[in-house]
Amino acid sequence: MTSRYDETFTAALNDPGEFWAKAAEAIDWDTRWDRALDDTNPPFYRWFAGGRLNTCHNALDRHVAAGRADQLALIYDSPVTDTVRKFTYRELRDDVAGLAGALRGLDVEPGDRVLIYMPMVPEAIMAMLACARIGAVHSVVFGGFAARELATRIDDAKPKVILSASCGIEIDRVIPYKPLLDEAVDVASSKPDACVVLQRPEQTAKLVPPSAGGRDHDWLELVSAALPADCIPVAATDPLYILYTSGTTGLPKGIVRDNGGHAVALNWSMANVYGLEPGDVFFTASDVGWVVGHSYITYAPLIYGCTTVLFEGKPVGTPDAGVFWRIIADHGAKAMFTAPTAFRAIKREDPEGTLIRKYDLSRFKALFLAGERADPATVQWAETHLKVPVIDHWWQTETGWPIAANCVGLEQFPVKYGSATKPVPGWNLQVLDSKGDQVEPGEIGALAVKLPLPPGALPTLWNADERFKESYLTTYPGYYETADAGYIDDDGYVFVMTRTDDIINVAGHRLSTGAIEEVLAEHPDVAECAVIGAADSLKGQVPVGFLVLKVGAEKPSSEISTDVVQMVRERIGPVVSFKTALVVKRLPKTRSGKVLRGTMRAIADGQAVRVPATIDDPIILDEISDTLRGAGYGAP
Ligand code: COA
Ligand code: AMP
């Protein structure tokens, strides 16, 4: 019997242009494309060159016109403010058109950047869609980042306008956003023309309007005075958004997403990867500041005509570990998507799944996990208690949608624990050795995707074509380097094992140890430092810092450790979860001076350590082991 997955995978592999042109028929175009796959300028590939469309039209207006005007587009469920608000497609279209008009009133033109720094409120989604509506390029910055990180992104994206809110809410703590925004704008060298602030009743912000020499505008006032704006068609290859993600240095990478390929790929994924139908309710518990939020809270569900759920809360503590099940039951979600860490948190609080049984989950059909490796124990726990398929799938900010998944819409394969199942059609995934040759099934190597990447994947980095080539396309010419290592077994199942760079994954959040080291090195008493990601039963990994102090350091070690923990929180943000800075006499290094971070990580995780042949002085590993043991890490 032919497999639907195999047929589809082969069709996408053999003629990507034709395959994706067919998928593109499901999208509304103002002008059809000249060529589906433009491969005239490798290694830069473009999708649907010559085509014109509007992403907001595809997400809202076309559904209003096609009979979904009164269907719910968005359900905002916020246990932290005890609010549920629902928007039909018509209502959301009208609100977005109003906000788009307000942006036009601030002279935002197609191609201008608009930065969005907002908590999980409906206006955050409206902001993204309003930008798309008028061809502006949005850049959403996650609320858990500190002012300096925000400033770095402002300087790179150079937004004309910043959209923000007075505060966010972390369980029961109100976090004022405006002081962070003000500080970031102060520090940044590129100043926006205007900051539009949504005043939330939990804590309002002091605004300094242009009439008083400032640049602040009240969101509601501005929108109520604006005329609604229509959709402006843009080139399929024009950028829809920039999303910054951790690179190996403190300077984040501005991942660019185009309009045409993105709409086509996400729409296709809803049916074929997620097995959903228009009208279904999809609940993605992430944050709009991450790629998962961009793709599967905002764009994919709406482009496909589903109802999306926006959740302002945490998996536990708002108010308990049953909140996901309450939302699934209340809103009739057919599928849910979150990070494994959220399930580890729930499992810790409700190991027997008692709260699950309180709710009617009869309409719930599948759970999708991504953002970090899904540990088999967590997957099995979810399967046992939820009694639905639990699907681990692997992707990255860069790819925008999954590279490997169990594509339930096409054909559901048996689960192999620890595997994200098979490459998704469109992704020609290979495992390569250090010379760039393909390895045998079962052998570990670098996971790399043969070019061209499918639509929806990054075409380049914002204003940084060379960095794009260097970062992703140079190590294995003709391939995109994922920087993940793993293997593909005899049955074609993909196992993603570890990053090959200094990126760590903390509670599904991607962070750079290099960026944390840059902050530690700024302390006047620190001579040298290193940061590793140590295994953590809740967050997957947490950063652990090692400090070598300068001779004659002015402060006691404990104070320096406290200082650097605070510095990381203030400079990068609380989301780093950096709590452990250990003072050591020296760092283990190779004879050529390279710090042995991998070996330190193995010690911290209690793994058997092979002493590298090139080590300068093996005794240092004993010192590191002792220090880590003192902090509760490593073998007892
Ligand atoms: N604004 C301000 N601060 C924020 C924030 C935001 N948007 N998001 C997180 N923070 C803060 C938290 O309050 C916390 O601060 P603290 O150190 O003072 O307690 C810190 O950043 C770390 O946050 P978080 O990683 O969320 O840890 P937590 O201990 O509060 O919660 C989990 C743990 C597992 C419940 C939580 O990480 C979670 O729900 N993860 C889901 C993962 C996810 O959505 N991943 C996205 C990719 S799919
Ligand atoms: P981000 O860009 O924040 O989405 O992080 C991407 C990285 O998270 C990947 O490169 C992987 O290292 C990791 N990751 C995401 N999903 C998975 C998964 N399902 N299995 C293993 N690792 C994953």
Is residue 483, in this structure, part of any structural domain at all?
yes
495-511: per-residue pLDDT in tens? 999 999 989 999 999 99
CA distance 125 to 89: 13
Is residue 190, in this structure, part of any structural domain at all?
no
Both 522 and 564 in one domain: the answer is yes
| Nearest ligand to residue 507 Cα | 1
Which of 506, 530, 558 is the endpoint of a domain? 506
The alpha carbon of 313 and the centre of ligand 1 are apart by a number of angstroms equal to 10
H helices present in 273-317, as ranges: 291-293, 300-304
Q: Provide the pLDDT for residue 1.
A: 63
CATH for 525: 3.30.300.30
For the CA of 175, the nearest atom of ligand 1: 2
Q: Residue 461 gets which letter from DSSP?
A: B
Neighbours of 522 (CB within 10 A): 12
Q: What percent of the chain is helix, strand and coil (3-state, nearest 5)?
A: 35, 25, 40
The dihedral built from the CA positions of residue 578, 582, 586 and 588, taken in this order, carries a sign that is negative
Query: What is the SS3 assignment for 421?
Result: coil
> Helices 178-187 & 147-157, crossing angle to 10 degrees?
50
Would you say 274 and 366 are in contact if contact means Cβ atoms under 8 Å apart? yes
Both 535 and 500 in one domain: the answer is no
Radius of gyration of the chain, Cα coordinates, nearest whole angstrom: 24
Residue of 248, 390, 406, 505 to mutate, ligand 2, most atoms within 8 A of C-beta: 505
11-69: per-residue pLDDT in tens? 999 999 999 999 999 999 999 999 999 999 999 999 999 999 999 999 999 999 999 99
pLDDT at 435 over 80: yes
Of 328, 330, 266, 268, which Cα lies nearest the Cα of 296?
266
127-157: per-residue pLDDT in tens? 999 999 999 999 999 999 999 999 999 999 9
Pocket of ligand 1 (CB under 6 A): 143-144, 168, 170, 175, 286-287, 290, 292, 314-316, 339, 341-342, 345, 371, 507-509, 538, 574-575, 577
Both 484 and 578 in one domain: the answer is no
Hey, what are 559's tokens? 């104070």
Which of 436, 471, 506 is the endpoint of a domain? 506
Both 493 and 582 in one domain: the answer is no
First to last CA, the chain: 54
| Nearest ligand to residue 403 Cα | 2
Distance of CA 297 to CAs 69, 216, 287, 345, 522, Å? 19, 28, 8, 21, 38
| Nearest ligand to residue 400 Cα | 2
The alpha carbon of 577 and the centre of ligand 1 are apart by a number of angstroms equal to 8
| Nearest ligand to residue 170 Cα | 1
Both 484 and 551 in one domain: the answer is no
Is residue 121, in this structure, part of any structural domain at all?
no
pLDDT at 89 over 90: yes
The alpha carbon of 374 and the centre of ligand 2 are apart by a number of angstroms equal to 10
Is residue 485, in this structure, part of any structural domain at all?
yes
Q: Provide the pLDDT for residue 613.
A: 84
Query: What is the SS3 assignment for 631?
Result: coil
Is residue 127, in this structure, part of any structural domain at all?
no
The alpha carbon of 483 and the centre of ligand 2 are apart by a number of angstroms equal to 10
pLDDT confidence of 346, banded at 50, 70, 90? Answer: very high
Minimum CA distance residue for ligand 1 atom 18: 574
The alpha carbon of 339 and the centre of ligand 2 are apart by a number of angstroms equal to 10
CA distance 407 to 271: 9
pLDDT at 581 over 70: yes
Q: Report the number of secondary-structure helices (H) and strands (E) in the chain.
A: 20, 31
Q: How confident is the prediction for the chain on average, in pLDDT?
A: 96
- What average pLDDT does this structure show over 368-394? 96
For the CA of 483, the nearest atom of ligand 2: 10
259-316: per-residue pLDDT in tens? 999 999 999 999 999 999 999 999 999 999 999 999 999 999 999 999 999 999 999 9
- Angle (CA) 42-46-52 rounded to 5° is 155
Contacts of 176 (CB under 8 A, 6+ apart): 166, 167, 203, 205
Distance of CA 629 to CAs 581, 582, 626, Å? 13, 11, 5
Q: Provide the pLDDT for residue 250.
A: 67
Both 483 and 576 in one domain: the answer is no
Q: Residue 573 gets which letter from DSSP?
A: -
SS3 sequence of 68-123: HCCCEEEEEEECCCCEEEEEEHHHHHHHHHHHHHHHHHCCCCCCCEEEEECCCCHH
Q: Residue 156 gets which letter from DSSP?
A: H
Q: Provide the pLDDT for residue 592.
A: 84
pLDDT at 81 over 80: yes
Q: Does pTM top 0.85 for this prediction?
A: yes
Number of domains in the chain: 2
Of 508, 509, 539, 80, which Cα lies nearest the Cα of 323?
80
For the CA of 344, the nearest atom of ligand 1: 34
510-531: per-residue pLDDT in tens? 999 999 999 999 999 999 999 9
CA distance 76 to 86: 6
Residue 437 burial by CB count (10 A; 0-12/13-18/19+): exposed, middle or buried? exposed
Both 422 and 498 in one domain: the answer is yes
- What average pLDDT does this structure show over 198-224? 98
Residue of 397, 510, 511, 541 to mutate, ligand 2, most atoms within 8 A of C-beta: 510
Strand partners, 434: none
Q: Are strands 167-170 and 161-165 parallel, antiparallel or unpaired?
A: unpaired
| Residue whose structure tokens are 């699907």 | 391
Q: Which residue range forms the structural domain that includes residue 574?
A: 509-630
CA distance 17 to 454: 9
Would you say 402 and 424 are in contact if contact means Cβ atoms under 8 Å apart? yes
Is residue 370, in this structure, part of any structural domain at all?
no
Residue of 484, 493, 506 to mutate, ligand 2, most atoms within 8 A of C-beta: 484
The alpha carbon of 575 and the centre of ligand 1 are apart by a number of angstroms equal to 6
Both 516 and 501 in one domain: the answer is no
For the CA of 168, the nearest atom of ligand 1: 1
CATH for 477: 2.30.38.10
Is residue 487, in this structure, part of any structural domain at all?
yes
Both 517 and 622 in one domain: the answer is yes
| Nearest ligand to residue 341 Cα | 1
Of 321, 286, 316, which Cα lies nearest the Cα of 301?
286
Pocket of ligand 2 (CB under 6 A): 245, 291, 370-374, 392-397, 420, 484, 496, 499, 505, 510
Is residue 75, in this structure, part of any structural domain at all?
no
| Nearest ligand to residue 146 Cα | 1
In the sheet with 216-218, reading across from the earlier edge strand, the strands are 216-218, 194-198, 161-165, 113-117, 137-140, 239-245, 253-258
Both 483 and 551 in one domain: the answer is no
> What backbone phi and psi angles, to 5 degrees, belong to 624?
-65, -45
The alpha carbon of 117 and the centre of ligand 1 are apart by a number of angstroms equal to 16
Both 543 and 573 in one domain: the answer is yes
pLDDT confidence of 334, banded at 50, 70, 90? Answer: very high
Q: What percent of the chain has pLDDT over 90?
A: 94
The alpha carbon of 576 and the centre of ligand 1 are apart by a number of angstroms equal to 9
CA distance 628 to 584: 10
- What average pLDDT does this structure show over 315-344? 97
CA distance 515 to 342: 25
For the CA of 369, the nearest atom of ligand 2: 19
Lowest mean pLDDT, pick from 78-87, 589-598, 618-627: 589-598
The residue ranges of DSSP E strands in 227-317, in sequence order, are 234-235, 239-245, 253-258, 281-284, 307-311
Query: What is the SS3 assignment for 138?
Result: strand
Both 498 and 436 in one domain: the answer is yes
Which of 506, 522, 539 is the endpoint of a domain? 506
The alpha carbon of 509 and the centre of ligand 2 are apart by a number of angstroms equal to 9
Contacts of 311 (CB under 8 A, 6+ apart): 77, 78, 120, 283, 285, 327
